[in-house]
Chain A
Amino acid sequence: MRGRALLAAALGALCLAAASDPAERLKDPAQEAQARAIFREVRCLVCQNESIDDSEAELAQDLRRIVREQVAQGRSEGEIKRFLTARYGEFVLLRPTMSVGNAALWGAPVLVVVAGLLLWRLRLRNREPDVELSEAEGAMLDELADNNSAKAEAPEIGR
């Protein structure tokens, strides 16, 4: 029951792209665009997997205000993110850092590709004489395939 209530609250807080609210906007469109780009990489800490760009939660609103203020002061994206990380921990970043702890996260896709390519090369070296289908297999395939000779029997199919 508590879970349901939480879910309901989460869904209630999820209805609008909150960051476009004109009441919050910065005057300079370039700075506003920069702030919006940062919002999309910052997690709304109390929400379910939402960036502060999307969330209507109060905390997200506060974070947006902080980020906008810092953007207006001319701070860079890196500085702002460092500020947020120092305050809230890595949890606040939707893009995980390239750190030792995240090595598996960033490295595994590359590893899979490399391993796959190696296996492929090994398979290519397989110079066994080409294995053709045995007669029995061929007959079975024909049976399953109901192939072209059957097409001649039933010409209406496939037209």
Chain B
Amino acid sequence: MARRRSQARLREGRPDVIAEFGAFALVLGLVMSLAQAGLSAAGRITRSRPLAGAGEGAALAAFLGVALAFAALMHGFVTSDFSISNVAANSHSEKPLLYRVAGTWGSHEGSMLLWCLALTGYGAVMVVFGAGLSARLRASAVAVQGALGSVFLAYTVFASNPLVRLADPPVEGRSLNPLLQDPALAIHPPFLYAGYVGMSVVFSLGAAALIEGRIDAAWARWVRPWTLTAWSFLTVGITLGAFWAYYELGWGGWWFWDPVENASFMPWLVATALLHSAVVTEKRGALAGWTVFLALSAFSFSMLGAFLVRSGVLTSVHAFAVDPTRGVLLLSILGAASGSGFALFAWRAPALKPGGAFAPISRESALVLNNILLSAATTTVLLGTLYPLIREAIGGQAISVGPPYFNLTFTPLMAALLVLLPAGPLLAWKRGDAAGVAQRLGLAALIALAAGFLTFALASPRHAFGAAGVGLGVWLIVGAGVEIAERTHAFRGPAAETWRRMSGLPRGAWGMTLAHAGLGVFLLGACFETTWKVEAAETLAIGKSLDAGAYHLVLESVAPADGPNYEAERGRIRATRDGALVCEAAPERRTYSAGGQTTSEVAICQRGPSHLYIVLGERRGTPAAPVWLVRAYWNPWASLIFLGPMIMALGGAVSLSDRRLRLGVARRRQAKAEPRPAPAPELAARTAEGEG
């Protein structure tokens, strides 16, 4: 068999052993992960620094091994080496380079390898930047991370190895789905995975803190940058996915409450809750148990997502096609990893200190409310995703849970959260001043109400919910502005003073403001787009027209426009408004020769923040007098739907650049090793008030 294999490769003139080398590196990665878990645990138990250090070395080696395996697989895809079964099944030599590269993570096996790459990569980063943690906590955390890495690597090596050779390599690969040949889709998995798997560090830190029996402010301060990193990546990944759906699926929808979308959304919601509860633990030493619970939950939801997407238990357009055995294995991994995490929690949490007391009106209470509402929202998404399965398992009754359910449950919970949001950052710790906050937000409330009523009066058709949503969006944006104005004493003192305060404001504060304002921007876009979108569809002969809102569209011509692996018709559509040219759109309808599938390449004319979205549909009529189905959508403010989350992710990045949250800070301080004067009392007080 080995001879036949090498003969096959010789026939192609490519006798390389890169895939074998990659497979070996992958096994090496597994062995090193096991060593990481074992040595670090031993180092922790015997309190031996050399052993713990060896565990950290193994963590770096594990990452190196997996990175080499990943590079080997990518090499296989780029060079179209169809003797590798994964490449043969998921690539095609006619595919452009970008999609051959993206093919590396386009399949079940490849994406599991990407998952392992992220898992060991985070482990390595944890080792490199983790010098500020206490030696014991660090050894425990590295051990837990190693255990997670071992489990997932074992799964990849034994049940889902992408680097397996075919005895009889095909001449040509079986192409990746054409719908998936798209830049946003090609690059969104790395972001998603960096997000999903980033939660593993938080999980490891949480489990380690429980093992050590100590959850304090320093621990919470360590958890935040990791959560922020993962959350920011996840935000970008989800947004890219939504953007892809928006322009590729061809009807302008961007969120479908599809199980796979939900699978990525649940870790995001939990991470958002965790970001907020960790603040309370850090600043006030309170909610420690709840924070560590969320830390364990975030990665559990990531793993649940991985299971849902790959097991085939849920039908979804995004799901990988797989066999049930793998689903069972993944479910076991999920059960073992989260099960032991939560068992540890049940055992250790009761011993945790409750932390400082606080009043019903206080920053703590505001953050607790945030967490209650986010938890309830996560529950709706979880139940909405799994309930059909549960019902079918217990009663045999098949039901569906679709967007109408989420509109009735998730949306009101979020609305309540968003109404309360701007007040939170203005409240003081321990005991807040409700009247003072109300006074400071009075103007913002007036502006928001005015915006809502104005929208209600002017936008046609009239829509109360849409207008309320717009008011809420404005409320968030202005509320975020008020928060910064309050901190900098804007409009209350001399401009120079405001400027001085503004430049002295910690980046964490700017990050929070950006994230909250970004949520408002998203809400504005989402409300406008869903409420006041205009749809038009007609079958048009050449020279005929249709109207979408204020826009007049003329189908000028349709011509063939074949690409490398597809045949296509390209329309030329002239869009005018009041006689003035708006844009010349060129939507396409493509048929892929390899799979026989048809896709539409929509044309989007950007008009300020809004989109004129044009789709060329199927050809009808007779060959002598053909007509084409043309659809056009006026999507008001649609850009904001994608801009808002990007602003939120930017807020995460800005926060992350805050020197107090920076991962390497403690290490560099140690390197400097100079005695530091105690902070002056006044400055220390400012730090304490500085951040929310």
Report how far A157 CA is from B315 CA in the complex, Å.
50
Encoded as 1 (CB less than 8 Å from any A CB) or 0, chain B from 497 to 510 comes to: 00000011011000
Encoded as 1 (CB less than 8 Å from any B CB) or 0, chain A from 29 to 72 comes to: 00000000000110100001101001000000000000000000
Q: Are A104 and B403 in contact (CB under 8 A)?
A: no
**Whose C-beta in chain A lies nearest to the C-beta of B408?**
A95
Q: Smallest distance from the beta carbon of B213 to chain A beta carbons, Å? A: 15
| Contact flag A101-B402 (CB < 8 Å), given A108-B379, A148-B684, A149-B683 | no
**Whose C-beta in chain A lies nearest to the C-beta of B503?**
A159
Chain A residues whose C-beta falls within 8 Å of the C-beta of B539 in the assembled complex = 22-23
Contact of B372 among A11, A94, A116, A151 (CB under 8 A): A116
Chain A residues whose C-beta falls within 8 Å of the C-beta of B599 in the assembled complex = 15
Q: Smallest distance from the beta carbon of B434 to chain A beta carbons, Å? A: 15
Chain B residues whose C-beta falls within 8 Å of the C-beta of A120 in the assembled complex = 365, 368-369, 372
Q: Are A105 and B401 in contact (CB under 8 A)?
A: yes
Contact of A15 among B249, B321, B355, B596 (CB under 8 A): B249
| Contact flag A54-B398 (CB < 8 Å), given A94-B403, A150-B676 | no
A86: Cβ under 8 A from any B Cβ: no
Report how far A144 CA is from B150 CA in the complex, Å.
31
Which residues of B389-417 are within 8 A (CB) of A? Answer: 391, 395, 397-405, 408-409, 413
**Whose C-beta in chain A lies nearest to the C-beta of B373?**
A113
Contact of B380 among A89, A109, A117 (CB under 8 A): A109
A28: Cβ under 8 A from any B Cβ: no
**Whose C-beta in chain B lies nearest to the C-beta of A145?**
B660
Q: Smallest distance from the beta carbon of B484 to chain A beta carbons, Å? A: 16
Looking at chain B, what size class is its interface with the partner chain? Answer: 35 or more
| Contact flag A141-B405 (CB < 8 Å), given A109-B413, A126-B354 | no
Which residues of B310-354 are within 8 A (CB) of A? Answer: 312, 315-317, 319, 321-322, 353-354
Report how far A44 CA is from B371 CA in the complex, Å.
36
**Interface secondary structure of A, over-half rule:** helix
Chain B residues whose C-beta falls within 8 Å of the C-beta of A140 in the assembled complex = 216-218
**Interface secondary structure of B, over-half rule:** mixed
Q: Are A131 and B355 in contact (CB under 8 A)?
A: yes
Report how far A51 CA is from B321 CA in the complex, Å.
22
Q: Which residue of B317, B399, B430, B666 has the most chain A CB atoms within 10 A of its CB atom? A: B399
Q: Are A158 and B217 in contact (CB under 8 A)?
A: no
A27: Cβ under 8 A from any B Cβ: no
Chain B residues whose C-beta falls within 8 Å of the C-beta of A16 in the assembled complex = 250-251, 600, 615, 617, 631
**Whose C-beta in chain A lies nearest to the C-beta of B631?**
A20
B132: Cβ under 8 A from any A Cβ: yes
Q: Are A49 and B221 in contact (CB under 8 A)?
A: no
Q: Are A7 and B402 in contact (CB under 8 A)?
A: no
* CB within 8 Å: A-B pair count: 223
Encoded as 1 (CB less than 8 Å from any B CB) or 0, chain A from 113 to 145 comes to: 100110010011011101111000100111111
**Whose C-beta in chain B lies nearest to the C-beta of A92?**
B400
Chain B residues whose C-beta falls within 8 Å of the C-beta of A22 in the assembled complex = 537-539, 629
Report how far A75 CA is from B258 CA in the complex, Å.
30
Contact of A17 among B251, B430, B538 (CB under 8 A): B251
B387: Cβ under 8 A from any A Cβ: yes
A73: Cβ under 8 A from any B Cβ: no
B285: Cβ under 8 A from any A Cβ: yes
A10: Cβ under 8 A from any B Cβ: yes
Report how far A116 CA is from B251 CA in the complex, Å.
39
Report how far A149 CA is from B597 CA in the complex, Å.
64
Q: Are B376 and A149 in contact (CB under 8 A)?
A: no
Q: Are A144 and B665 in contact (CB under 8 A)?
A: yes
A-B contact pairs, 25 of them (CB 8 A): A8-B597, A11-B597, A16-B600, A16-B615, A21-B537, A22-B537, A49-B400, A90-B400, A91-B398, A96-B399, A101-B399, A102-B391, A105-B383, A105-B401, A109-B379, A109-B383, A112-B376, A116-B375, A130-B430, A131-B354, A132-B356, A141-B218, A148-B679, A149-B677, A150-B676
Q: A16-B251, A49-B315, A108-B380 are in contact. List 17 more A-B contacts (CB 8 A).
A: A12-B598, A17-B252, A21-B629, A41-B404, A48-B315, A89-B398, A91-B399, A91-B400, A93-B399, A104-B387, A105-B383, A124-B357, A131-B285, A143-B666, A147-B660, A149-B676, A149-B680
Residues of B whose CB lies within 8 Å of any CB of A are 132, 177, 179, 216-218, 221-222, 249-253, 256, 258-259, 285, 312, 315-317, 319, 321-322, 353-360, 365, 368-369, 371-373, 375-377, 379-380, 383-384, 387, 391, 395, 397-405, 408-409, 413, 430, 503-504, 506-507, 535-539, 595-600, 615, 617, 629, 631, 659-660, 665-666, 669, 676-680, 683-684, 686-687
For the complex of A and B, 9 pairs with smallest distance between CB atoms: A94-B402, A3-B321, A116-B372, A17-B251, A95-B404, A148-B683, A20-B537, A112-B376, A91-B398
